[in-house]
Structure 1
Amino acid sequence: MTTLHSSFGSRFGLEYMPTSFLVRMGKRELLVCRDFRKRYYAVNPIMECDTGVQAGHLEVLMFRRWLLILSKAH
């Protein structure tokens, strides 16, 4: 069994997410999960881009439901 060491820390709260998966492509990581955070602003219904919780991360919210987090692999 192989374990992937992700650069996504506990600040994302992803240990509580049962429906997430990680894809590593060379020096980049893409994490896909359902968005579970309460947003206190009007969200674009198709695609919303924002900086991530940690430095060097980019969050893309698709269809107000799916969160794609892009980062560098470590």
Structure 2
Amino acid sequence: MTTLNSSFGSRFGMEYLPTSFMVRVGKRELLVCRDFRKRYYAVNPILECDTGVQAGHLEVLVFGRWLLILSKAH
């Protein structure tokens, strides 16, 4: 994944995922990818919302498989 001025740092490890893409809408960025992290808690099977790894990020897990990461564009 090669993007210019993305606010998603290497802490997400997104550069190794071939099935991810990013959409930029105004001052917001939306990254869609498959969930690759091991969750150590019971996850809602339809929709799960959580704060992101970095400040200002919101993670939405859809159907336990797709991860939507919302952030402010820089």
TM-score (norm 2): 0.94
1:37-56 to 2 correspondences below 5 Å: 37-56=37-56
State the alpha-carbon separation in 2 of the partners of residues 22 and 4 from structure 1: 11
What root-mean-square deviation, in Å, do the aligned CA atoms of Structure 1 and Structure 2 show?
A: 0.7
List gaps (5 residues or longer) in structure 1: none
Paired residue secondary structure (1:19) = coil
% identity of equivalent residues: 89
| Deviation >4 Å, runs of 4+ | none
State the alpha-carbon separation in 2 of the partners of residues 25 and 4 from structure 1: 14
**Deviations along 1:5-38, whole A, 9 cap, x unmatched?**
2100000010111100000000000000000000
State the alpha-carbon separation in 1 of the partners of residues 16 and 42 from structure 2: 25
**Deviations along 1:51-71, whole A, 9 cap, x unmatched?**
000000000000000000000
Paired residue secondary structure (1:15) = helix
User: Which structure carries more helix by proportion?
Assistant: 1
State the alpha-carbon separation in 2 of the partners of residues 36 and 73 from structure 1: 23
Aligned pairs, how many? 72
List gaps (5 residues or longer) in structure 2: none
- 1:4: Cα distance to partner? 2.5
